[in-house]
Every structure is written in C-alpha cells, then in structure tokens.
Amino acid sequence: MSAPLEGITVLSIEQAISAPLCTRHLADLGARVIKVENPGFGDSTRHYDGVVRGMAAHFVWLNHGKESAELNLTDPADAEVFARLLTKADVLVSNLAPGALGRLGLDPADLLERYPRLIVVDISGYGRGGPLDHKRAYDLLVQAEGGSASITGLPGQPAKPGIPVADIGTALYAYSAVLAALYDRDRTGRGTVIPIAMLDVVAEMMGFALNAVLHGGEEPEPVGMGSPMIAPYGAYATKDGQTAVLGTTSDREWRRLAGDLLQRPDLVEDTRYARNADRVARRAELDEILGAWCAVRDLADIQRLADEAGIGNARLNSVRDLAEHPQLAQRHRWRQVGSPVGPVAALLPPALGQGWEVPEGRVPALGADTAAIRAEAAELQLPDRADDDSV
C-alpha cells in the first residue's frame, strides 16, 4: 500500500476553513503539508473553543496530518526561511486577506516566475477586480452575497446553512484543481497559478436557481426542509415523535408515492399533480396530505413502506445521532489520529482508492515543527534570477 501524493510537499499560509480543508485532504492522500502560522497565536480556529480536550473542534477537524511552523513572514529572516522552503515545494495554498500575499512579497505571478514548477492556489472572497475585490470574506458574507441564504430557511426568514458550504465548496474546488495541476505539470513541466474566488464557487452551486431566474424570471422561494424546485419533498412529523424526510424527484416517483405508498390512486389520476411544476405550485396541498399520512404512523413503519415502494426516505437526525450512526460504525469510517493531548477520533477521507494508504496524521501543536523546518530550510539553496532565466 502507498499514499498517492507521497513525495509531494505543500506549503500553506492558511487560516479558518477553505485553505485548511483543502490541504488536509492533500495530507490525507500522503502529501507533506507544512502549515505556516503566525508566532504566538497561529490559525484563528485554534481559539474558537476548547471542546476537544482543550483543542478547538474546527482546528482538529481541519488540520490533522500537518506540520506546524511558526514563521513571521514580515521578518526578513523568516521570509528567507519561507523562500528556501519554496525551492522544494510543489504547491503553495493561501487564503489570506485581499492583497496580503503581495504585501508579503509573494505575488502569485512573481512566485511562478521565480519557481516555475510551483502550483500556487490563491483563495479569495471575490477575486481580483470588480467592486468587491478589497473586501474580507467569511462563509456567511459570501453566502449572503451569493444568494444561497435567500433560498434557505423560510419566506421572509433567510438562513445560512449550518454547514459552511461556501468554505467547504471552495476547499473542494481548490483540492481538485491542485490534483489537476499536478497531473498537468507532469505533462508540461510547469506549474501554474490557480485563483479561486469563494463567490464564484457559490455562484456555480447556485446554477439551478440562477437558471430559474435567467430563463424563467421567478425567484425561487425557500421552503425550509425541502427544495424550492421540486414537490412534494420535505420533513413530516410522525406518530412516535420522530421526523420522516421523504418525497419525489420525478413524475414517475410521484406516481409510486401516491399510488404505492399513500394508496391514493385518485392522486395518481389527478391532472393537477401530474407534472413537477404543477406539484410545486400546489406544494402546500401535497405537504398537508403527506403530513396527515405520516402523523398516524411510526417512523419505522413509514420507512419500511417507503422502501417497499421505492421512495427515498430518511430520518431527521441530530449531530449526536450522526456521531453514533451505525452506518458509519459498521463501515469502519472512524479512526484515531494523534494530538498534543493524545489520540482523538477522526473520520477517514470520503474518497479513497483501493490500495491507497491513509497516513496516520496528527493534530500539530502550534510551532511543533518550527525548529526542524528551520534546520531543513538552512540546507536549501535559494534560486537566483540567472537560474530562473535559464529554466
């Protein structure tokens, strides 16, 4: 067994979620990730809380498998250490504030000229250019600008999804782009600069809603536990105090739900509900019908009957329910990773090829690897401009 990114070195000037999740996935595949942190404070997520035996939940989630080096990149000596590390790095990932890389003398285009095989991922909120390129961007802010909060929640009550989808979506695009860039470098011998704007990621995720507005003219209305684009599809209280989630995603499924699950052939034959657009227009009527049907049945019976009818269904779980979910436990999705306070639970990476080794990883203490990394950098030779021109 081997890890597919073994031998790849990633430098990361990162904080919060988007860049750290990208680089953690790279570490999961065997890349060496050197996380550069401000001396004395480090990544801001280190200080969100102390729920993991004194460590922050976000930091533990996002940073196992990495090395931590405390470097002050505004200090010439530390900037030189970083420059030396770049000579052996394959990838640099950053999600600093707008313009911060340039102020540190690390403009992505200049870096690529100096280190032609380097892959530079520059994550920002809104991209370069345009009226918002100077603004800081956090998940909530980008979701607000990107419209995703407007189709979440209820009419007049917009909501941010509980999962930071702008951050996570950006991380996954950055991760996949790095893998593509490594493949491209094998073919061409050159690195690249990959700018990724969080707003662009949210705009891509909003594709169906954008099409509804661009081509249909109507703003999608948020519907809570459901989708503004299909019906019936939602959450319904059960007789035993649970919540069943079920619905349809096609006209054929609707006929199965109405005829086989609800035992209502009259609904199957009713032309007012024949097409999804018709059902969306009569969402309230259908929610009332499904709600009444679920209210007199226990969750287990609803799920059994739905499975028999070929209708997708789920139970509305809490976070604790997820932590104890038998589907994760029986498929051995949990593992232990090291940390300054001993082993802690972590999930295996979602995507692994057969025969890929998963590195053990650890959650690094702030600056745990600084001394070793400084010594390593001292052995590396800085390139000069003459060398660059000859490449």
How far is the CA of 239 from the CAs of 235, 291, 325, 349, in angstroms? 13, 10, 22, 37
Q: What is the pLDDT of residue 2?
A: 87
CB 19 within 8 A of CB 43: no
Contact 276, 251 (CB under 8 A): yes
Cα(302)–Cα(246) distance, rounded to whole angstroms?
9
258: Cβ contacts below 8 Å, ≥ 6 apart: 264, 265, 267, 268, 273
Per run of 10 residues, the mean pLDDT along the chain (length 391 residues) is 93 97 97 97 96 97 98 96 97 93 94 96 94 93 95 93 96 98 97 97 95 90 91 97 95 97 97 95 96 98 97 96 97 96 96 92 96 96 60 33
Domains and CATH numbers, the chain: 9-205+328-390 (3.40.50.10540), 226-315 (3.30.1540.10)
* Residues acting as catalytic residues: 167
* Contacts for 243 with CB less than 8 Å, ≥ 6 apart: 235, 236, 237, 299, 315, 316
Q: Quote the CA–CA distance of 224 and 56 in Å, as a whole number.
A: 30
Tokens for 126, please give them.
């809104």
| pTM beyond 0.85 | yes
- Residue type for position 232: P
386-to-90, 116, 282, 348 alpha-carbon distances in Å: 21, 13, 71, 45
User: Residue 257: CB partners within 8 Å, gap ≥ 6?
Assistant: 232, 246, 247, 248, 309, 311
Place of tokens 């707008």: 98
Contact 169, 143 (CB under 8 A): no
Measure CA 68 to chain center. 22
What three-state secondary structure class fits 65? coil
For residue 385, what pLDDT is reported?
58
Closest CA to 69 of 21, 8, 11: 11
